[in-house]
Amino acid sequence: MSDDIEIDIDDLQRRMDGAIASLRQEFASLRTGRASAAILEPIMVESYGQMTPINQVGTVNVPEPRMVTINVWDKAMISKVERAIRDSGIGINPVVDGPLIRLPIPELNEERRAQLAKVAAQYSEQARVSVRNVRRDGMDKVKKAKSAGMAEDDQKIWADEIQDMTDRQIAAIDKLLETKQQEIMQV
């Protein structure tokens, strides 16, 4: 194998792992009928002229299975945090109690559960596409290396390794999806 041929398997693995990490984060933001501080992660609040995540303007807690609370540090920010939650589209009505904002998590009906399961499937398909794109990049490098003088046996070894890595990542995505859908459909 010539010295100018380089296939960075670790980089491909890191990029595929990134797709799965992104999927986990998207799954965490899906409301499943159980309280989770992660449902507030995408919500930004206008604070002193800048958009700021909610967890940087107050303490987010989950005191009960169906309740999230936010203890806002600056009393002037309470109405802004409440408005940001209402406008976010997560389907939760905040209840203001002094510096504390309570977010009661309602039970999900069957129709909403099915919608969330479809959203989870869409997220997992996006992750699969990302993994396949990384595989395609790796295979393109193998093809370039072949034209640069890589032996056919080495090309097959690299291609098989990239495909095995892709298959493992797709299986992990499928398992995450199955787990999340069971969690969503659980009453």
pLDDT at 187: 63
Whether residue 2 is contained in a domain is answered as no
CATH code of the domain covering residue 67: 3.30.1360.40
Q: In angstroms, rounded to a whole number, what is the distance separating the alpha carbons of residues 55 and 53? A: 5
pLDDT higher at 26 or 129: 129
Question: Strands (DSSP E) along the chain, which ranges?
Answer: 44-47, 50-53, 58-64, 67-72, 95-97, 100-104
Q: What total number of domains does the chain contain?
A: 2
Q: Sorting pLDDT into bands at 50, 70 and 90, what band is 4?
A: very low
Q: Are residues 78 and 13 in the same domain?
A: no
What digits encode the pLDDT tens for the residues 111-155?
Answer: 878 888 888 899 999 999 999 999 999 999 999 988 888 888 889
Band of pLDDT at residue 32, cut at 50, 70 and 90: low
Kindly state whether residue 96 falls inside one of the protein's structural domains. yes
Tell me, yes or no, whether 181 and 92 share the same domain.
no
Q: What is the pLDDT of residues 36-92, one digit of tens each?
A: 787 888 788 988 888 999 889 999 998 888 889 999 998 888 999 999 988 877 778
Claim to verify: residue 43 and residue 17 sit in the same structural domain = no
Which of 88, 104, 120 is the last residue in one of the domains? 104
Residues 73 and 54 in one domain: yes
The DSSP secondary-structure symbol of 77 reads G
2 pLDDT tier (thresholds 50, 70, 90): very low
Answer whether residue 4 is part of any domain.
no
Query: Which pLDDT score, from 0 to 100, does residue 69 have?
Result: 93
Global pTM? Answer: 0.68
Residue span of the structural domain in which 94 resides = 34-104
Q: Does residue 116 sit in the same domain as residue 170?
A: yes
Domain membership of residue 1 (yes or no) is: no
- Asked whether residue 77 falls in the same domain as residue 20, the answer is no
Residue 20 has pLDDT above 80, yes or no: yes
- Last residue of a domain, which of 104, 131, 148? 104
